[in-house]
């Protein structure tokens, strides 16, 4: 719609048409992005169903929020284990970014065998393509009986776990390389269990006697 509106505006400017029929037209509201994530026990079941070669890729995705393309294009020279980070030279938005590694991500990268004579420009996951990874991951989901879950949803799982542990939305946006906070706002949700725990927090403020005083007298409405 934006492209068409721009073309019509140019057409008026170039005197191809007398007026812009799209002037004043309101664009539809963009629907909220899909958020599908796993709870840690579910992820454990899924991981056990993944073949051994796929587990490091899945582990990096869920612990860093990196895209599948970013993981598969990762080069040995991009990995800085000493400073616990990965340097991505170019991402989806055309700019580089730094991905910080937690203990799980660092362990995954340290466990990978380094082939003899490997060059810094060689890919860490050499010889693996997105289709092979996607299909194998889908089969693992089927074996684990996990429905409606794609590899890209691992990117949603990482920030969802962060939010459930109390990380603020700015931290989540930085993790995912999002410049626009609106794109990270989808992770404002919390799990039902966490909500129940949060609701129970004020219980500690009131003593037993105070709680009894708040209760309505027996038989009243």
What is the Cα gyration radius of the chain?
A: 24
**Cα 189–Cα 30–Cα 24 angle in degrees, nearest 5:** 145
Q: How far apart are CA 122 and CA 99, in angstroms?
A: 19
CB distance 61 to 115 below 8 Å: no
- pLDDT score, position 145: 95
pLDDT-flagged residues of the chain (< 70): 30-35, 90-94, 163-221
- Of 124, 122, 70, 128, residue with least CA distance to 99: 70
- In the chain, what are the domains? 40-189 (1.10.443.10)
Q: Is 51 exposed, middle or buried (CB count within 10 Å of its CB: 0-12, 13-18, 19+)?
A: exposed
pTM of the model: 0.65
- Of 91, 95, 101, residue with least CA distance to 158: 101
- pLDDT score, position 155: 83
- pLDDT score, position 161: 72
């Amino acid at each position: 719609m934006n492209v068409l509106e721009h073309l019509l505006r140019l057409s008026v400017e170039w005197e191809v048409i007398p007026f812009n029929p799209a002037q004043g037209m309101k664009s539809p509201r963009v629907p909220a992005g899909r958020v599908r994530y796993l709870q840690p026990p579910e992820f454990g079941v899924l991981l056990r169903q993944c073949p051994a070669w796929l587990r490091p890729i899945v582990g990096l995705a869920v612990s860093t929020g990196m895209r599948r393309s970013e993981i598969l294009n990762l080069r040995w020279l991009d990995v800085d284990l000493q400073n616990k980070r990965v340097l991505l030279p170019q991402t989806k938005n055309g700019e580089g970014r730094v991905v910080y590694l937690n203990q799980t991500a660092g362990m995954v990268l340290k466990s990978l065998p380094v082939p003899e004579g490997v060059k810094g420009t060689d890919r860490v996951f050499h010889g693996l393509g997105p289709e092979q990874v996607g299909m194998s991951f889908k089969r693992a989901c089927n074996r684990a009986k996990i429905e409606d879950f794609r590899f890209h949803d691992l990117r949603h799982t990482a920030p969802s776990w962060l939010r459930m542990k109390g990380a603020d939305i700015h931290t989540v946006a930085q993790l995912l390389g999002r410049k626009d906070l609106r794109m990270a706002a989808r992770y404002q949700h919390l799990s039902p269990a966490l909500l129940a725990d949060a609701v129970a927090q004020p219980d500690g403020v009131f003593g037993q006697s105070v709680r009894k005083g708040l209760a309505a007298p027996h038989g009243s409405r």
